[in-house]
Amino acid sequence: MSEHIIHFIYLASAACFILSLKWLSAVPTARRGIVVGVLGMLLAVGGTLLSPTIEHYHFIAAAFVIGTIIGVPMALMPMTAVPQRTALSHAFGALAATLVGAAEYSLRVPNLDRFTMGALTLEVILGALTVTASLMAAGKLQEVLPTRPMVFRNQNYVNLSVLGVALLLGVLLVVNPGLWPLFPIMVLLCLVFGVLLIMPIGGADMPTVIALLNSYAGLSASMMGFVLDNKLLIIAGALDGSSGLILSIIMCKAMNRSFTNVLFGAFGQLQMTAAAVEQKSYRSASPEEAADLLRTADSVLIVPGYGMAVAQAQHKVRELFDILTRQGTNVHFAIHPVAGRMPGHMNVLLAEADIPYDKLLEMEDANPEFPQADVALVIGANDVTNPGARHDKSSPIYGMPILDVDKARTVMVIKRSMNPGFAGIDNELYYLEKTLMLFGDAKGFVSELVKSLNET
C-alpha cells in the first residue's frame, strides 16, 4: 500500500487522539472522547499493519491473542478497581516500550548514531522504571503490598544514587553504543529504581503518582517513536506524557504539594505517630436518627470518598439520592479532585450509578453551597474534609484545599471507625458539636438509611 495512504491514516489517528483528550476533559463529552480515542487507536494499528515492511504476521497475531487474554479480564474488573487497573495499564505500556527498545538495541548495535542511541536510552530508562513503579503502585492500591510508606535510613540518597548510575551508563552507551554489557545493567538498575521510587510513597499520594507514571509511559513511547522513525508514536507519546504531567501538576496543586514533596517527602513519615492521638469526645447516631435528619432537610450535600468505593456503595447512594429527590430535597454531590485513589475516581463511580452530571459539583462550586446546606453527608471521605488543613501549620496537609463540610448546619459522617485516613492524622471534623458519626460499612449504612426513609 502507498506510503501516502498510511501517512494519511496516521494523521487521522493523531487528530482522533487530540480530540479524544479534549473531550475527555469534560464529563458530558467524556463518552465521545473514549469512542474517538478507540477509533484513533484502531486507525493507528490498522495503518501499521498495512505497512509493506511487515512480514511476520503470525507473531503479530500471537501477540493479539495474548493481549486479548490479558486485556479482557482487566476490562471486566469492577469500577472500584479502576485505579489499580490503570496502574497495570501503565506497566504493560512501559513494558512494551522497554522490550522494543531492547530489541532495537540488540538488532542495530553498534550501528546506532548518537541521536538514536540517546532516544533509545531514554526510552528504556523511562520504560523500565515505570514497569516496576506501576506494579508497586497497583500492589499498594490492591493492598497486596502495605499501603503505608516503607522507609529506611538515607533512602533518598540510595534512590538517587541508583538512578544516577543508570543515567551515567546511559551516557556511556550514547558515547559508545558498542559497550553492550552496560545495557542490561542499566535496565536492571532502572527496574530497581522503580521499586525504590514507590516504596516511600503512601496511599494519600497515589492519585499524583498514577498521573506521573502515565507521563513517564507516554514519554517512553514518544522516545520509541524517534527510534523507530514513527511520527504517530512521537505524537501519541507526547500527548500522553504532557497530559499526564499536567494532571500531576493539578493533583499537586489540589493537595498543596510539590513533586519533590510527593516523591521524596510523602505523608508517610507522620503516619507512624498517628496512633498517639489524643482521645476526644464525639457524637454518634443510628440509621433511624440520621434518616430523621435527612427527612427534614431542604438541602443535602453528599461528599463521596474512598470508603464509598471500597464498600461499592455507589448504587445504594443512587437509591438514597432518588428518595431524597422525590421528597423534594435539593441534593448535590461535592467532589474533591483527589478523593479516592486516582483523579476522577468519584466521578467514575457516580457515573456508573447514573447520577446526573449536573448534580456533581467540583470543589470550587461546592464550597459556596455548604453554608446553605442543612446536611452534609460524608461517605468515606477523610483528609479532604479535615478543617485542620486551614489552620494547623504542623499538619502534613496544611494548606491543602478542602471541602468546607464543617460549614454545613449538620454534618454526618459514615465511617467504619475513628481511625485516621491515608495522611495518618486525626480529622477535626469528627469532634465538632454539629457532627454525628455514623459507624458502619458504607453500603450497609446507606441501605439502612434507604430502608428507614422508605418506611415513612
Among all residues, which ones are annotated catalytic? Answer: 383
Contact 412, 375 (CB under 8 A): yes
What is the edge-to-edge ordering of all strands in the sheet holding 330-335? 360-362, 330-335, 299-304, 375-379, 410-415, 435-439
**What size, in residues, is the chain?**
456
Amino acid, single-letter form, for residue 317: V
Contact 278, 352 (CB under 8 A): no
Give the gyration radius of the chain's Cα atoms: 25
Q: Containing H/E element for 411?
A: strand 410-415
Contact 290, 447 (CB under 8 A): no
Which 3 state secondary structure label does DSSP give 299?
A: strand
Q: Containing H/E element for 321?
A: helix 314-326
Tally the C-alpha atoms within 13 A of residue 27's C-alpha that lie toward its C-beta.
20
Taking residue 32's Cβ as centre, other Cβ atoms within 10 Å add up to: 15
Alpha-carbon torsion angle 235, 237, 240, 243, nearest 10: -60
For cell 540510595, the residue is 158
| Cell numbers representing residue 64 in the block | 493479539
CA distances 158 to 155, 163, 165, 330, Å, are 5, 9, 11, 54
Max CA pair span of the chain: 80
Contact 224, 233 (CB under 8 A): yes
